[in-house]
Amino acid sequence: MKKIILVVALILGFAINIFADIKLLSTKGDVKIRRGVSEQWQQIKAGEILNYDDAIFIGTKSTATVSINGQKKIALPEKTIVEISDLRFLTKEELLLKLAMDRIIAVPQQDRRDELMPAQTTVIHGEKKSETLAAVKPTVENALKMLNGAKLLFDNKFYGTCALRVREVLRIHPTIETGIEYKLLTANSLEKAELYDEALSEYTAILNDAKIDSLRDRRSDRNIIEKKIEVLKKKNQQ
């Protein structure tokens, strides 16, 4: 119990760190924002400041560009949903704590033996809301847009938030049809974040997942994963 409370407290502590100044520089087509705890999407124009607990939606044949602290610019492609709180780098310590919390949330409700353990929720909003609110479960269409947003995070080296976002979406929608693509994205993100034990577990789980039939027909992918596992095992022995 003390360990669980400590994990929650530390994560809450990280959540109040000063967040980057993120501004919407340009929009084209269907670009919307969801402010704070609201479940409503509304149109947004270039020039607005994006808050920590907002999310941005990019529709079909649409694009947007945001800036972080007036320096780094990120182009948001079509069919994407990005939580603004994900546009940041996590330290190894932060990521490990959040992964620990993620594992607690993933425990089935009937297996919880302590009333003070966090209840399982369909968390889809920013970090602060993730810890206090049971958000509305996203549609499959929006879940896929969130996974596209995770790709964007990876491409911009936000490896920690990428891994967490993919795990969360796949937990909420365990039957979503994505093959092994996003499971590999999670494993690769953890590897890039230098959490080799966690990455090794992810790659091993992919190989052992009987539901992923595509690996049987894609021997090259299986070979790549097996080589990844060998390399990670050697790193863990160093």
The confidence score (pLDDT) of residue 106 equals 73
φ and ψ of 27, to 5 deg: -140, 150
Q: How many CA atoms lie within 13 A of 86 on its CB side?
A: 31
**Span 27-56, average pLDDT:** 94
Which residue reads 């089935």 in tokens? Answer: 108
Banded pLDDT at 214 (limits 50, 70, 90):
low
Least confident segment among 85-94, 172-181, 205-214: 205-214
pLDDT tens, residue by residue, 66-76: 999 988 999 99
CATH number of the domain that residue 154 is part of: 1.25.40
Confidence (pLDDT) at 126: 54
**For residues 236 and 219, what is the distance between their CA atoms, to the nearest angstrom?**
26
46 domain residue, yes or no: yes
Same domain, 74 and 149: no
pLDDT of residue 18: 52
pLDDT of 32 strictly over 70: yes
Distant-in-sequence, close-in-space partners of 103: CB < 8 Å, separation ≥ 6: none
- pLDDT, mean over the chain: 82
* 15 belongs to a structural domain: no
Whether 162 and 148 have beta carbons less than 8 Å apart is answered as: no
Give the pLDDT of residue 208.
85
Same domain, 173 and 68: no
Is 8 within a domain? no
Single residue among 84, 117, 135 that ends a domain in this structure: 84
Residue 51 inside a domain? The answer is yes
Residue 162: pLDDT band with limits 50, 70, 90? very high
Q: What is the pLDDT of residue 38?
A: 83
Structural domain for 42, as ranges: 20-84
The answer to whether residue 167 scores a pLDDT higher than 80 is: yes
**Looking at the structure, do residues 71 and 97 belong to the same domain, yes or no?**
no
pLDDT, one tens digit per residue, over 98-146 is 999 988 887 765 554 544 443 443 444 555 554 433 456 789 999 999 9
For position 69, what pLDDT does the model report?
92
Planar angle of CA 175, 178, 181, nearest 5 degrees: 135
Do 93 and 183 lie in a common domain? yes
Residue 215 and residue 110 share a domain: yes
Residue 1 lies in a domain: no
This prediction's pTM:
0.81
Q: Which is nearest to 117 in space by CA: 135, 101, 128, 97?
A: 101
- Measured CA to CA, the distance from residue 14 to residue 9 in angstroms comes to 9
Mean pLDDT in residue range 147-157: 97
